[in-house]
Structure 1
């Protein structure tokens, strides 16, 4: 095999897009999530090493006849490495590295990996800027201030939180992508319903999943979501309500709050409407909402949230699932059925004058 430094460096997502049954030489930068010792049916030892990058995961099965078996047995959770290999798609067991070579990453390479591939990092940068822009456009000074206070205090943690553990935007920074796209969608819907309180809707989108900062966040130096006691015991809706109430109290102690006493609607009513959006955004009791949507903004928020989650699931399914037949894509969790390739946009029309 060529010198490892000469091989193209790709992400796991990119690797899945180019891999074939015949060997393909690539380098991948990864973090170790877990290492499990197992035995074959014949009693021979082997390892299952789960590896992660910003957008995907891979299980590397290392058997005792692999030259790297003893090196792999020493890998610790959280360490960063480069795996250079001839990669093949084995079908049953997925992607597998042949003739692998392993080295640990430098500090600079670790930081580059944590920021995601260039395309993902740029998308999340643009999305965060969109969120800041939307917050700056809020006219109600109370909603604008509480949103700004959230970004000021928790923006760094927000940037490394996932929107979910598995189903959608389940990656470092995924919550930023989800919130930004929801803001775009909500703005488009609000354009057709001018009676909506767009300030409230924007704030509701920002805060609807803010409790996930203590349920689905990533450590500063990792791609693996740890389970956290706060998230397990209270869930992100309860945590979100608590956070917004705390931010609101802090905001009302500021000097500028004295100038808001004459504003209508009253500040406490604004707070209650914002809390209602957080509490009702799952839309149904069986999905965890303590209350159902009871205002226009709450109804819109629930559906915009659902739309973006479903569109992300479809995007991921088209990208990673097998094609069972032309245009028929194998079902993927949690989608209940096989999905179909979308109808392409029309081409070949004559240019208009």
Structure 2
């Protein structure tokens, strides 16, 4: 029997059933009733790669075991897994508690995800370290020094995209790489400002979508609930900026151009406007090229991640068509594969002759 992560199990069962086990944390157990009044549990299991839901019917031995099993328990779940229109399921599965050694290994995260997030974090350090503006450079360095550990265990969302421990690092790193690429195409964009804006735009998620030091269950936080990540992000950036202004090195900032107050205001504007519209939660709209770029970079990475997850988990409606994944606008269609020339066959040169057709043959 293979031992996989939740994400790997989802990929492996996309085409055929699979006998496998996985380790997970019991995030939630909700008592439900069928239409005929029969009780069942709906449980949510999570690991460092994703989550899955299982229904536990009253005639299953696991039903009684769940009565005394607290949320947060670490489990090994084994069974014969398939996928249907409702997600992964198994007609025959069992579970047990992880022992102490297994629990330590599980909480460390799966090696593949750890390796990816470590590489993403290294990219964030490199790109913020290359910021030339000494004020934005110091601001990012101070943020990473004080909040780096908390930042690294935060998710980018609760359910739609990068909704996993460390997902915020993955999201921010990819956004920074995209921002640097776009600055190469639009050289008038302020790359220092845009890089800092990417780092800080979702930093309020450290309260809205944070994880404990040990565990993969995402709790709710009163500050995140009552304020939201945009006001929290503005306050975080402002606090660090005020602290830096009290340090001796900031005296040299008075001679810099543009003025420090303008740099601070433009950075705060990026945080405030990155959702792009009032309806999506931004208190103001993008009013600078950097703000507009940040909004679209953020939206692109979030939507691309949603589509990638949809291709892994959404049921097939017809060959090449998969069920819509909320909040994407429509059903997913299998993307076109990259062109690959046959070995030893040189691509033919394009013909230079132009062909003119009467308009009535075109329409």
Give TM-score scaled by structure 1 length.
0.91
In 1: Cα distance, 2:85 partner to 2:191 partner: 50
Paired position in structure 1 for 2:350: none
Paired position in structure 1 for 2:319: 326
Alignment pair present for 1:80 and 2:60: no
Q: Give the counterpart of 2:232 among 232, 239, 257.
A: 239
1:20 Cα deviation after fit: 7.1
Paired position in structure 2 for 1:265: 258
In 2: Cα distance, 1:319 partner to 1:94 partner: 10
Paired position in structure 2 for 1:126: 119
On the 8 A contact 2:14/2:313 being kept in 1, the answer is no
Paired position in structure 1 for 2:43: 49
Alignment pair present for 1:95 and 2:88: yes
1:241 Cα deviation after fit: 0.6
In the TM superposition, 1:193-204 aligns within 5 A as 193-204=186-197
Tell me the alpha carbon deviations over residues 248-296 of structure 1, each in whole angstroms, 9 at most, x when there is no partner: 0111122221222211112121111111111111111211111111111
1:184 Cα deviation after fit: 0.5
Matched residue SS, 1:210: coil
Matched residue SS, 2:228: helix
User: Does the C-alpha gap of structure 1 residues 317 and 20 become closer, same or farther in structure 2, counting only changes over 3 Å?
Assistant: closer
Tell me the alpha carbon deviations over residues 3-60 of structure 1, each in whole angstroms, 9 at most, x when there is no partner: xxxx321111221222379763211101111222334455444322221112222222
1:93 Cα deviation after fit: 5.0
Q: Give the counterpart of 2:21 among 18, 21, 27.
A: 27
**Number of matched residues?**
346
Q: Give the counterpart of 1:227 among 212, 220, 223.
A: 220
In the TM superposition, 1:185-334 aligns within 5 A as 185-334=178-327
1:297 Cα deviation after fit: 1.0
On the 8 A contact 2:87/2:313 being kept in 1, the answer is no
Tell me the alpha carbon deviations over residues 55-112 of structure 1, each in whole angstroms, 9 at most, x when there is no partner: 22222222333233322222110110111223344x3654334443322223443343
Paired position in structure 2 for 1:3: none
On the 8 A contact 1:32/1:51 being kept in 2, the answer is yes
User: Does the C-alpha gap of structure 1 residues 153 and 255 become closer, same or farther in structure 2, counting only changes over 3 Å?
Assistant: same
Alignment pair present for 1:18 and 2:12: yes
Give TM-score scaled by structure 2 length.
0.89
Which runs of 5 or more residues in structure 2 are unaligned? 348-363
Tell me the alpha carbon deviations over residues 301-333 of structure 1, each in whole angstroms, 9 at most, x when there is no partner: 111111111111111111111222222121111
Q: Give the counterpart of 1:62 among 52, 56, 65.
A: 56
Matched residue SS, 2:185: coil
On the 8 A contact 2:42/2:55 being kept in 1, the answer is yes
Paired position in structure 1 for 2:357: none
1:148 Cα deviation after fit: 0.8
In 1: Cα distance, 2:105 partner to 2:154 partner: 18
Give the RMSD, CA atoms, in angstroms.
2.1
On the 8 A contact 1:35/1:75 being kept in 2, the answer is no
Matched residue SS, 1:83: strand
User: Does the C-alpha gap of structure 1 residues 96 and 158 become closer, same or farther in structure 2, counting only changes over 3 Å?
Assistant: same
In 2: Cα distance, 1:94 partner to 1:171 partner: 18
User: Does the C-alpha gap of structure 1 residues 168 and 154 become closer, same or farther in structure 2, counting only changes over 3 Å?
Assistant: same
User: Does the C-alpha gap of structure 1 residues 40 and 328 become closer, same or farther in structure 2, counting only changes over 3 Å?
Assistant: closer
- Structure number with greater Rg is 2
Paired position in structure 2 for 1:109: 102
Paired position in structure 2 for 1:36: 30
In 1: Cα distance, 2:170 partner to 2:330 partner: 26
